[in-house]
């Protein structure tokens, strides 16, 4: 399993590969900085969040059509996402978790959503030629991994069903990752709602380079399906922003915490520390080509591991269904 330092180097290398050549060409003159894209998510002092949906104006050159790439912007009951037509999985997903959204608020009505009534389906809102297909996963050796987990969508049965659309799915290693450590991280995100009034979660598939023996950096990834159709990410990132009133006397002034974790799409042992996967938000943004948060917000926020415990609870969900006594707790956020 790659350690955190290797993941950091790999993330940095993405930015270096993309930006290094350009920097060399323009280093002899003062460049005009390009306008910074708006952040995907920003908060005001009252905690109101907005997701950017701006689209550049069309050029006259595109008189006969815009070739793309087209980010399919998907607004669901429990999440928002963009779909990557080339890789056939989400580019990113975003959620807003609260006790109420998870059906844990004492004043909220009990949720009747039942995972057993949901089934994986192809997203017919996407063009057929760009869709992920159910057949692509057949005997692929990978799980259909939720980017937004079903357990985060208990608002209604419809909301939960939408998490089973293949536009919310990416290929993940099953035993040791999707069914285990990745599930522990998803559970940790949900438990943050016990300490914070609002929790925003981004899930981002990544393709990070590794250094080969010849000293060169390369990105290698599998493509599943027959014919090959869906790319298999090398890593996944969870980026969180959590807020709560700074004090009872100032409920409108928020304490904001942020943090990012990058995990390899591989078997991770249960005893691995969640903090070993901590990665700067800027590094994830550079690797993914995204602007998640504004600079002001990042500078004003505290690191999530300073304001709560970044530790997972190990629950063997698959084994517990057969043997309820199989459960080992490591720790939990306060």
* Residues with catalytic roles: 146
**Residue 28 in 3-state DSSP?**
coil
Of 268, 304, 257, 288, residue with least CA distance to 71:
288
DSSP letter (8 states) at residue 106: T
DSSP letter (8 states) at residue 174: I
| 281 alpha-carbon distance from chain centroid | 12
Residue the block writes with tokens 């700074």: 246
Its sign, for the CA torsion 93, 98, 99, 105, is: negative
Q: How many Å apart are CA 207 and CA 299, to the nearest integer?
A: 27
Q: How many helices (H) and strands (E) does the chain have?
A: 8, 15
Please measure the distance between the N-terminal and C-terminal CA atoms of the chain and give it in whole angstroms: 29
Residue the block writes with tokens 């981002």: 204
Q: Is 26 exposed, middle or buried (0-12, 13-18, 19+ CB in 10 A)?
A: exposed
DSSP letter (8 states) at residue 310: -
Q: How far is the CA of 162 from the CAs of 1, 110, 132, 147, in angstroms?
A: 32, 19, 15, 12
């Amino acid at each position: 399993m790659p350690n955190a330092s290797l993941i950091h180097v790999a993330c940095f290398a993405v930015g270096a590969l993309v930006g290094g050549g350009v920097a060399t060409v323009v280093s002899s003159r003062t460049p005009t900085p390009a306008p910074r894209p708006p952040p995907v998510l920003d908060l005001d002092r009252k905690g109101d969040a907005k997701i950017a949906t701006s689209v550049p104006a069309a050029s006259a050159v595109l008189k006969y059509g815009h070739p793309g790439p087209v980010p399919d912007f998907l607004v669901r009951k429990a999440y928002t996402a963009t779909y990557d037509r080339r890789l056939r999985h989400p580019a990113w997903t975003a959620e807003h978790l609260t006790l109420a959204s998870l059906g844990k608020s004492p004043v909220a009505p009990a949720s009747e959503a039942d995972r057993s009534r949901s089934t994986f389906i192809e997203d017919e809102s996407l063009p057929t030629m760009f869709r992920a297909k159910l057949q692509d996963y057949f005997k692929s050796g990978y799980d259909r991994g939720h980017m937004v987990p079903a357990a985060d969508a208990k608002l209604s049965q419809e909301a939960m069903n939408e998490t089973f659309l293949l536009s919310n799915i990416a290929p993940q290693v099953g035993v040791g990752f999707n069914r285990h450590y990745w599930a522990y991280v998803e559970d940790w995100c949900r438990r943050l709602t016990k300490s914070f009034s609002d929790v925003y979660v981004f899930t981002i598939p990544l393709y990070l380079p590794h250094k080969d023996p010849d000293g060169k950096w390369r990105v290698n990834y599998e493509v599943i399906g027959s014919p090959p159709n869906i790319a298999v990410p090398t890593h996944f990132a969870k980026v969180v922003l959590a807020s709560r009133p700074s004090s009872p006397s100032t409920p409108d002034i928020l304490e904001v915490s942020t943090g990012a974790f990058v995990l390899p799409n591989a078997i991770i042992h249960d005893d691995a520390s969640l903090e070993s996967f901590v990665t700067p938000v800027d590094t994830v943004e550079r690797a993914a080509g995204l602007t998640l948060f504004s600079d002001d917000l990042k500078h004003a926020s505290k690191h999530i591991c300073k304001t709560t415990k970044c530790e997972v609870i190990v629950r063997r969900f698959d084994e517990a269904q057969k043997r309820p006594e199989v459960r080992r707790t490591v720790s939990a956020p306060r």
